[in-house]
Amino acid sequence: MTGDQIAGPGLIEVEYWLDIKFLNMPVCCRCGAPFEAMHDVGDAYELVECAACIARKPAFDRARAVFIYDDLTSRIILRFKNGADRNGLKLMSQWCVDVAGDLVRDADFVMAVPLHASRLRSRGYNQSLWLAAAIARRRDLKLAHHILKRRRNTPSQAGRSAVGRQKNVEGAFHIAERHRKKLAGKRVLLVDDVYTTGATVEACCRALKRSGATSVDVITLSRVVSPTDPTI
Ligand SMILES: [Zn+2]
């Protein structure tokens, strides 16, 4: 990330900027997990999948994240998510484009992981939709915020195991029949704030592909890389 981007407003105190672990090292070409070491693959590193993706192919085509989720960056996410702080949106959307320019370039539509209607009413906003809209504006892409719906108000994913998370969101997302023509043959870029186990975005991807989307890529601001069960 460049120096003038580091001058971005309000995301986190200036003294912590250099401690943000940006995911700009070699990553799994499918899920975006960082590799601790890369041996003997030369220029082919862009085609290397991690062991988890080889063992089980994710429902999405490619996922990328801007930085690793940890004690420091969780504060950025919480300010954005619970504090409705939009000050850093311009910078965050630029980071997304920087880290996943090819995913953005290939997209026909940008959309966000939706909240259930009742959750949206009580919270008043969907921060992932803000980010999706900011990314779409940067590349003059179509923002499709009305197509993918969350038809079940699923309990929080926090504290659930990877399998528990899958079960919690399975079948939670839906695309109305009238929107399916719009998706046929299209490439979708799905935006969320945090990638934890990928269960939520995978459930979205399955719904989108069942409705005719050719490919679904995912961009998140942050990504959990800890092998322990997620607590967020
Ligand atoms: Zn992977």
Question: What CATH number should be reported for the domain holding residue 47?
Answer: 3.40.50
63 CA to centre of ligand 1 in angstroms:
9
Query: In this structure, what token pair is assigned to residue 230?
Result: 């997620």
Query: What's the domain count of the chain?
Result: 1
Residue 41: predicted pLDDT: 55
200 CA to centre of ligand 1 in angstroms:
16
Domain range holding 115?
Answer: 3-223
125 CA to centre of ligand 1 in angstroms:
31
16 found inside a domain: yes
230 found inside a domain: no
d(CA 190, CA 192): 7
d(CA 81, CA 174): 23
177 CA to centre of ligand 1 in angstroms:
32
2 CA to centre of ligand 1 in angstroms:
27
231 found inside a domain: no
CA-wise closest residue to 206 among 182, 161, 174: 174
198 CA to centre of ligand 1 in angstroms:
11
Residue 183: predicted pLDDT: 94
Residue 99 φ then ψ, to 5°: -85, -20
32 found inside a domain: yes
166 CA to centre of ligand 1 in angstroms:
17
Q: What is the pLDDT along the chain (232 residues), one digit of tens a residue?
A: 444 444 455 677 777 888 999 998 889 999 999 987 655 555 666 789 999 999 999 999 999 999 999 999 998 898 888 888 888 899 999 999 999 999 999 999 999 999 999 999 999 999 999 999 999 999 999 999 889 999 988 888 888 888 888 888 888 899 999 999 999 999 999 999 999 999 999 999 999 999 999 999 999 999 998 755 445 5
146 found inside a domain: yes
228 found inside a domain: no
10, 38, 61, 120, 171 from 189: Cα distances, Å? 27, 28, 10, 21, 20
Alpha helices by DSSP H, 21-177: 51-55, 73-81, 89-99, 101-106, 117-123, 127-139, 162-169
d(CA 151, CA 210): 16
51 CA to centre of ligand 1 in angstroms:
7
213 CA to centre of ligand 1 in angstroms:
21
13 CA to centre of ligand 1 in angstroms:
32
